[in-house]
Structure formats: structure tokens, C-alpha cells
Chain A
Amino acid sequence: MKKISCSILLMMFVVSSAFADYSNRGFMREVSYGLDIVGAEKNVDVVPDAAPGELGYDVYESVGVVDTTGTRMFIPTNMYVRAGGGLNLGFASSNAKFAGKEHESQDSYTVKIGLGWNLSSYVRAEVDAQMSTFTFENLRDAQANYQTLGAMLYFDFARRYVMDGDITRIRHFVPFMGVGAGFGHYEFEGISGANGAVIAAPRAEFGFNIMLTDLIGVDIAYQYQMMIGNGFGWDVKNDSVDNISNVIASFRVNF
């Protein structure tokens, strides 16, 4: 019986060895290259260097420690602040009426300051203040301005943060669009200027974000506003609907 048991064990060992084919070299390769750690192949030093110390001293060297050169900490962010300015696109905005003639917006500008919340990887909400000053072609002494408070919902077309195992990558280019509304005060200065409350609805943006660092980025966006409830010019009705188009560049700082 004992002989039979030994024979069976011997056969199992021979057969299993034949099928295993698991060399020491293969094992080392799996340990070195097959682990599910992004960047291990590049970073992990698996061969110990010659000990740099003198004989007789206890000299130790850490092997298998990931080189953190070029690695930065990922800081998740909930909110952001924004500040920037833009130019009005006269050709894509309504013309102001003055003495029966139309005048295109020229050299008009906008300042924008905002506070936002990163709701998810794709969605952001923002409240902002915009102050615009308009001047017009062939009408240099007349100007208009508006101040509005607005709220926007932005949708990023790609994840800002890409989770990749233990490593989180941050996209440096993210297109986005946004929709929202604003309200405020319009003033066309001078005789019979259209002054009063105005609603910017819808307010829409389409642009892209370029991240300069992990936290700071620049947004460049086209902004469209449909201005409701106030005329656009002088001696005009106060119930018209007019279009305003801006190109706005702003810094967005996440925190």
C-alpha cells in the first residue's frame, strides 16, 4: 500500500511539473513587468546597485521603490473662481439704432467675475457678474453699458480628471458648452436712450479650457445672449429682443 501511494505521488509530481512550465525566469518577469501598477516597468528598480558604502558599514538600499520624480499629487476640487474679460463681436450683435440709422458695436468690452461649483466630472454650475461697455461705429460720443448677474450650467465634453488605476490624469484641453440666464440693468446714455431692466435669456457659451497647471486654467469661449425687455439704441421701443455676442477669455482657478 505504501509503495502504491508513493508511486501515485511520484506520478502526480511528474505530471504536474510537466504541465506547470513555470520557470523562475517567468516568475521574475511577472513580478517585474506583470503587476498592475501603471508605470512600474518604467520606474521600479529591480536590480540592486553596488552598495556605495565602505566595507564594514551597514549600507542598505531600497529596491522596488517607485521614483516619484515628475509625479504630482492629485487634489480633488469642489469649487472654482473665475475672472476675465472679453470683446464684443459687432458683426454678430444687434446694431444700435440712433436717429433712424443703425450703428455696429465697435471696441466694446466686457468684464466677467464668477464663482463656480464642480458638480461632477462633466457638469459645473456658476454664478457670475458681467459688466459691459458699448461704443458704436460712427457714434463715438455715445456709449451704452450694462451690468448683469447670471447663473450658468456648464457641460464639459470630456472628463477633467481621468482615473487610471492609482494614477489620476488631468486633461489639459477640455471643450465645453453652457446654458443659463442673467438679469440686470441697461443704459444707453444720452437723449432718449433705452434704459431699464433687461433679462439675458438664454445666455449660452461654447468654448474650451486649457489647463496651465493642475488647478489653474484658461477658458476661451464664445458667448451669446438674447437680451429681452429693453431696446438697443436711442429713441427705440423698450420691448425688443436683441442679440449680443462676445468672445471672453478668463482664468479659472479650482480649489
Chain B
Amino acid sequence: MVTSANAAIPYRVEQVVMPDVAVVDGNDNEAFAKLHRFYVGGMYDFSMWQSYTDDAGVRVDGKDTSSFDIVAGIRIYDTFRVEANYTHTIAKFDDVEMNGDTLFINALVDARIDSMYRLFRSQYLVPYVGAGVGLSGNTVDNAKIENKLSPAVSVMAGLGIEFGEHFAIDAGYRYMYMFSPKFDFINGLNPTAHQLRVGARVNF
């Protein structure tokens, strides 16, 4: 910015106002994300479904089941990613089995240290926490449901074990809560499970 010159001085004088210098952080919060913006992965799920007793006293015991997950995600920052998560849900309550195609949108925060420190320090373990919302299309054996489509929510935490920048093993926990599909044999059963998950992710 140039202001008026001082005419009393026989040579030209310009006063230049320097722009404010922004504080340089030194950290690039997309250092890893720029290199590997997308990832895919798969997980094995061990689900422990919770028992339930309804208002009429009808009780079902939740069983343990196995199923799988597929994820495809985008890494927005090094510490934040969003993923589409297909889960093949298998829930068992006594002799009633519910199969669901569940699609979650998960938001996850990775505990990844700043890029400026990564130059000097290798981080193999990257814990994360996250939450998801989704919909599940369900079918049931040995019973009937009123709603074929049920909302579901989840919270999760886990540990990513990174082998280089392309590959990671993922071990975690997820609490899954599905709003009631309205079973015909019991009132108000919201299928709820503690899930242990193990899988792998590939970054590209």
C-alpha cells in the first residue's frame, strides 16, 4: 500500500505498509491425506446381541453371531475420515434370525500426530473413535417384522496398526443400536450388539 510522498525531502519517499504476516503453523494437516485420499477395507465382526424382555414379559436371549463389514472411505484430513460402511448384519434371538443389509455413514477421528513430527517419529499405532448413522434392510426367519427398513446408529473405537503408508490392520469395538423393526412376537425389541471387529484397510 502506498501513501503520499513527503515533498519536503528532495528525493522520493514512499511509505510501504507491510501486510500482516500470518503465523506459520508448520503442520500440514493433509500431509498424509493428500497422498492417500481414499481407502477400502474389510472386517470380520463378532457380534454379541443383547437379551431383551418386553412390556408383556416376553423374553428373548441374544446370541453371538459372525458377519462381515466392507468399508470405502475418504480421508479429509490426516485426523478425520468419512466412510461408507456396508455391514451384513446377522442377529439371533433364540431361534429367530434376522439378516440385514446395513449401510452406515461413519465419521472417524484418527489419533495421528502432526505431520511436522512424523518426519522424526514413526507412528505405527493409530487409535480412532467414531460414530455412524445408517439404514438396515432386514429379513427375518421364524418371525415377521413390520418394518423392512430400520434406522441404526453406532459408536466405535479401535486401533489401526499401520504397516507402511498403504496397508493397515484394524482391530476395534463397535456398539450397534438398531431401531425396532417391530417383530410380531415381541414388542419394542431394538436389536443391540457389542461387536468386536478385526480387518484390514488399504490406502490408495
Residues of A within 8 A of B (CB): 73, 75, 77, 79-83, 111, 113-115, 129, 131, 133, 141-143, 145, 147, 189-193, 215, 251, 253-255
CB distance from A151 to the nearest CB of B (A): 15
Nearest CB to that of B127 among chain A residues? A253
A254 to chain B: closest CB distance in Å? 7
- Sample (18) of A-B pairs whose CB atoms are under 8 Å apart: A73-B117, A75-B117, A79-B111, A81-B111, A81-B129, A83-B157, A111-B173, A111-B194, A113-B157, A129-B155, A133-B50, A190-B53, A191-B55, A215-B113, A251-B127, A254-B111, A255-B79, A255-B111
Contact B117 A189 (CB under 8 A): no
In the complex formed, the residue of B with least CB distance to A76 is B114
The interface size bin for chain B is 20 to 34
Contacts of B112 in A (CB 8 A): 255
- Contact partners of B24 in chain A: CB under 8 A: none
Within 8 Å of chain A (Cβ to Cβ): is B95?
Answer: no
On chain B, the residues within 8 Å of A114 by CB distance are 129
State which of B52, B113, B114 has its C-beta within 8 Å of the C-beta of A189.
B52
A131–B50 Cα distance when bound, in Å, is 12
State in angstroms the CA–CA spacing of A111 and B111 once bound together: 20
> Smallest Cβ distance from A50 to chain B, in angstroms?
33
Contact A81 B121 (CB under 8 A): no
Interface centre among A141, A190, A193 (most CB of B within 10 A): A190
**Which B residues fall within an 8 A CB radius of A?**
50-57, 59, 79, 109-114, 117, 120-121, 127-129, 131, 155-158, 173, 175, 177, 192, 194
Closest 5 A/B residue pairs (Cβ): A83-B157, A255-B111, A189-B53, A190-B53, A81-B129
CA distance A81 to B175 in the complex (A): 16
Q: Are A83 and B55 in contact (CB under 8 A)?
A: no
Residues of A close to B156: CB separation below 8 A: 113
Given A73-B121, A75-B113, A129-B155: A141 touches B50 (CB 8 Å cut-off): no
**Residues of chain A contacted by B59 (CB below 8 angstroms):** 141, 190
Cα distance A77–B127 when bound, in Å? 15
Q: In whole angstroms, how far apart are the Cα atoms of A162 and B46 in the complex?
A: 43
Cβ–Cβ contact A131 & B114, under 8 A: no
Complex Cα gap A198–B121 (Å): 45
Q: A81-B128, A113-B155, A141-B59 are in contact. Are A253 and B53 (CB under 8 A)?
A: no
Given A75-B121, A131-B175, CB of A81 within 8 Å of CB of B55 = no
Given A73-B117, A111-B194, A255-B79, A80–B111 Cβ distance below 8 Å? yes
User: B55 and A192: CB pair below 8 A?
Assistant: yes
Which A residue's beta carbon lies closest to that of B129?
A81
A251–B157 alpha-carbon span in the complex (Å): 11
Residue in chain A with minimal CB distance to B78: A255
CA distance A255 to B158 in the complex (A): 15
